[in-house]
């Protein structure tokens, strides 16, 4: 009798183990929109534009490249970048007016930084006797296009840098500020001035930047670029296109097989600029289409632009609605770029730590398993002893169930003996 009770107990545990849902879900697995059951770095979402209406776990975070390869020059890494980082869906302007400008992101800058975004694109204007984040009509900011004072966003960046002393953030400012010393004043008020990387140390000849190790040790962890050339001499803020080549933005920059520079930038293959910025977002942003933009076509364009840029992978990949994709999304594109940049592998996940360049641990892909467990050729549906109706899936996250099925089979045989 004690043996029988023991067998029944183990049998019960085995059955529960088979049917108990996983506590977290992997990329591509079906999830519930009511509560995010996905692993860390994933979100539950759909991509109706591609025909995928089934909620699935998709990526929202890239792999930190320094977790694999540390100490390289700053221009030997790629960073996830958000276009119009401040322009959030459902925003209400502190000015009291509804915001009618187009949204480009779904979460605030603090959340973006927590999710691995390290490049922020910010539009700054004079407005209400202050500097604001804004869209514009004819180069002017209005109540209905004013999102929030710039200092709010800059303070989010300051808090992140203070709490994460080994992280580096880059700001790309679309600069419409005309007030004297306007940018310096708002950066000083936000507490960011002490983190700013000096323009005098930025290489203008296409050479390597300082290593990220040195930038961290010197606490020079905020790289700031402006679109206004005069700002470099007047306020010491780097003119972007003295250091960066940048692809065409908007729908014009999404033509498959073509990659050319925006008008302000030198040609993509200009080697006297050591940083490469790739834009990939439509002229009229929409959250539905972003899941397509941020999927396979993004990586395809990245490879096209790598050739156009003289064999250089992008250091910054800028997208709208960075959390939206049909799978790996913008984070996967960043991982691919970082793999080639840091260790010569097709993905940063394959880089072997502390190994020579080009040493990769690429997993061997095996054929997909059958849809159901097969144990007997006599079973017409290939199912396990009549349990085919339960549909034992054999995807990677469910493979441990085989162990419990083996125990269950053994225990059933013991009970009938």
CA distance 91 to 411: 60
> Which residue, of 327, 350, 373, is where some domain finishes?
350
Q: pLDDT at position 407, please?
A: 53
Residue-wise pLDDT tens digits, 112-138: 999 999 999 999 999 999 999 998 877
Please count the structural domains in the chain.
2
pLDDT digit string, tens, across residues 43-76: 999 999 888 889 999 999 999 999 999 999 999 9
**pLDDT(335) > 60:** yes
Residue 98 or 284, more confident:
284
45 and 76 assigned to the same domain: no
Q: Is the pLDDT of residue 16 over 60?
A: no
Q: Are residues 41 and 162 in the same domain?
A: no
Listed residue (222, 285, 350, 277) closest to 80, CA to CA:
277
Which of 13 and 214 is assigned the larger pLDDT? 214
Q: Is residue 395 pLDDT above 50, yes or no?
A: no
The pLDDT of residue 19 is 45
- Using the 3D structure, point to which of 289, 315, 350 is the last residue of a domain: 350
Return the CATH number at 69: 3.20.20.190
Q: Is 50 in the same domain as 70?
A: no
Under a CB-based contact definition with an 8 Å cutoff, are residues 266 and 235 in contact?
Answer: no
Point out the domain boundary residue: 328, 350, 372. 350
pLDDT at 100: 83
Average pLDDT over residues 372-378: 42
Cα–Cα distance measured from residue 109 to residue 121, given in angstroms and rounded to the nearest whole number: 11
CA–CA dist 287, 273 (Å, integer): 33
- Is 227 within the bounds of a domain? yes
Residue 304 forms part of a structural domain:
yes
Say whether both 156 and 284 belong to one domain: yes
Would you say residue 320 has pLDDT above 90? yes
Per-residue pLDDT at 279: 98
Instruction: Report, as an integer, the average pLDDT of 223-237.
Output: 97
Q: What is the DSSP string of 242-282?
A: GTEEEBPPSGGGG-TT---B-TTSPPTT-TT--EEEEE---
Is the residue at 357 inside a domain? no
> 101 and 51: one domain?
no
Do 44 and 181 lie in one domain? The reply is: no
pLDDT top residue among 36 and 373: 36
The model's confidence at residue 364, banded by pLDDT at 50, 70 and 90, is confident
Residue 3 placed within a domain: no
Q: Which of 309, 315, 365 is nearest to 340 (CA)?
A: 315
Is residue 300 in a domain?
Answer: yes
**Do 170 and 217 belong together in one domain?**
yes
Candidate ranges 125-139, 261-275, 366-380; pick with highest mean pLDDT: 261-275
Please say if the pLDDT value at position 392 is more than 80.
no
What percent of the chain has a predicted confidence (pLDDT) above 90? 70
pLDDT of 101 strictly over 70: yes
Cα–Cα distance measured from residue 277 to residue 247, given in angstroms and rounded to the nearest whole number? 6
Note whether 38 and 155 are same-domain residues: no
Mean model confidence pLDDT for the chain:
86
Residues 6+ apart with CB under 8 A from 334: 62, 78, 79, 80, 317
Q: Are residues 52 and 104 in the same domain?
A: no
Query: Do 155 and 124 share a structural domain?
Result: yes
Range of the domain at 323: 61-350
User: Does any domain span residue 12?
Assistant: no
Q: Is the pTM of this model over 0.85?
A: no
pLDDT tens-place string over residues 74-91: 999 999 999 999 999 888
Residue 19 placed within a domain: no
Mean pLDDT, rounded, for 21-48? 85
Give the other-Cβ count within 10 Å of 37's Cβ: 18
What distance in Å separates the CA atoms of residue 220 and residue 203, rounded to the nearest whole number? 15
Taking residues 1-23, what's their average pLDDT? 48
65 and 43, same structural domain? no
Q: Are residues 36 and 111 both part of a single domain?
A: no
Q: Considering the domain boundaries, does residue 392 fall inside one?
A: no
List Cα–Cα distances, 321 to 84, 295, 341, in angstroms: 10, 12, 25
Q: Which residue has the higher pLDDT, 172 or 24?
A: 172
Answer whether residue 159 shows pLDDT above 70. yes
pLDDT on residue 92:
80
250: alpha, beta or left? (left if phi > 0; alpha if psi -120 to 50): left
């Amino acid at each position: 009798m004690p043996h029988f009770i023991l067998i029944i107990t183990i049998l019960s545990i085995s059955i529960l183990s088979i049917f108990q849902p996983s506590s977290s879900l992997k990329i591509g697995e079906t999830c519930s929109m009511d509560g995010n059951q996905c692993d860390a770095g994933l979100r539950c979402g759909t991509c109706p534009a591609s025909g995928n209406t089934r909620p699935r776990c998709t990526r929202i975070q890239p792999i930190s490249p320094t977790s694999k390869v540390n100490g390289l020059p700053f221009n030997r890494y790629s960073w996830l970048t958000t276009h119009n980082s401040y322009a959030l869906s459902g925003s209400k302007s502190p000015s009291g007016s509804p915001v009618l400008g187009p949204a480009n992101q779904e979460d605030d800058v603090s959340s973006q930084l927590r999710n691995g975004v390290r490049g922020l694109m910010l539009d700054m204007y004079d407005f209400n006797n202050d500097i604001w984040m804004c869209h514009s009509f004819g180069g002017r900011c209005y109540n209905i296009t004013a999102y929030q004072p710039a200092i709010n966003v800059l303070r989010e960046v300051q808090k992140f840098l203070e709490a994460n002393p080994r992280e580096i953030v880059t700001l790309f400012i679309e600069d419409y500020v005309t007030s004297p010393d306007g940018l310096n004043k708002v950066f000083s008020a936000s507490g960011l001035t002490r983190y700013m990387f000096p323009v005098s140390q930025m290489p203008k000849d296409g050479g390597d930047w300082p290593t990220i190790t040195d930038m961290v040790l010197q606490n020079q962890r905020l790289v700031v670029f402006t679109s206004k050339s005069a700002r470099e001499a007047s306020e010491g803020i780097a003119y972007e296109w003295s250091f960066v080549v940048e692809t065409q933005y908007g729908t014009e920059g999404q033509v498959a097989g073509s990659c050319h520079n925006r008008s302000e930038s030198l040609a993509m293959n200009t080697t006297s600029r050591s940083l490469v910025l790739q834009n990939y977002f439509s002229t009229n942003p929409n959250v539905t289409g972003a899941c397509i933009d941020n999927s396979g076509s993004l990586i395809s364009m990245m490879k096209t632009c790598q050739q156009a840029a003289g064999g250089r992978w992008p250091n910054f990949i800028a997208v709208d609605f960075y959390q939206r994709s049909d799978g790996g999304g913008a984070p996967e594109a960043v991982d691919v770029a970082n793999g080639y940049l840091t260790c010569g592998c097709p993905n940063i996940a394959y880089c072997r730590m502390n190994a020579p360049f080009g040493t990769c641990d690429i997993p061997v892909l095996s054929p997909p398993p059958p849809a159901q467990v097969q144990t007997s050729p006599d079973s017409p549906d290939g199912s396990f002893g009549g349990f085919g109706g339960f549909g034992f899936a054999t995807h990677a996250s469910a493979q441990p169930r085989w162990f419990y099925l083996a125990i269950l089979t053994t225990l059933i045989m013991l009970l009938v003996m």
